[in-house]
Amino acid sequence: MDPIKFDDRDRKIIALFEENPGISQTEVAAKVGLSQPTVGARINKLRQTGAIVTTMGMDLRKLGLNVAKVDVTTKNSIEIIDRFRGCPYFLNGVIVSGRENLCLFFAAEDISTIEALVDRHLRGNPSVSGVDLGIVISPVDNLIMHVKMGFEKTEALSCGFDCAKCQYYAHNRCLGCPRSKYYRGKFW
């Protein structure tokens, strides 16, 4: 893929949207010295190329959620990511180079639920040879991320586990999956 070429006005438009995602095209036009239709065309081009993306997220720390960064060494990074796609606790993942070739981000109301999730789904996975769990103590800026909400409760979880039969859940070391009827938390 060829790199996107920006001029100074494109950079200024992007900076204005970073400062205020709800800024109007009229305001942008006034600040960059172009007509509103010209600015509208530039914004459309920037959106089509992915330079400007509008997404909804929550400030996780302000909501009282704990966030974990989990570095994983695995033989099958795609399988691991696919396993977590339907998990409400899963925020995002990136495939990286190096010994740890996968970095996953999770959020939960308590650290013990994150620990149980990592133990049950990663440390016990035969394709995983290493896991390094780190809890985010303090973000530099607001920690805004997309959180999965508004899903149906279900008996059969996409991960294949059953909270009712889980030792972590039975010993109050996990709140259970928010997609199951066994969930004991209050956020989801």
pLDDT band at 166 (very low <50, low <70, confident <90, very high): very high
DSSP string, 31-94: HHTS-HHHHHHHHHHHHHHTSS-----EETTTTT-EEEEEEEEES-HHHHHHHHTT-TTEEEEE
pTM of the model: 0.84
Lowest mean pLDDT among 2-6, 113-117, 172-176: 2-6
Element at 8 (helix H, strand E) = helix 8-19
Domains in the chain: ranges and CATH = 8-49 (1.10.10.10), 58-150 (3.30.70.920)
DSSP string, 101-136: -EEEEEEESSHHHHHHHHIIIIIT-TTEEEEEEEE-
The predicted pLDDT at position 1 comes to: 63
Query: Does 2 score more than 80 pLDDT?
Result: no
The three-state secondary structure class of 12 is helix
91 compared with 56, residue with greater pLDDT:
91
The predicted pLDDT at position 56 comes to: 84
The predicted pLDDT at position 167 comes to: 95
95 compared with 154, residue with greater pLDDT:
95
Residues paired with residue 68 on neighbouring β-strands, in sequence order: 106, 135
For 139-150, what is the mean pLDDT? 88
Task: Quote the longest CA-to-CA distance of the chain.
Answer: 64
- Those residues whose C-beta lies under 8 Å from the C-beta of residue 6, and which sit 6 or more positions away, are 14, 51
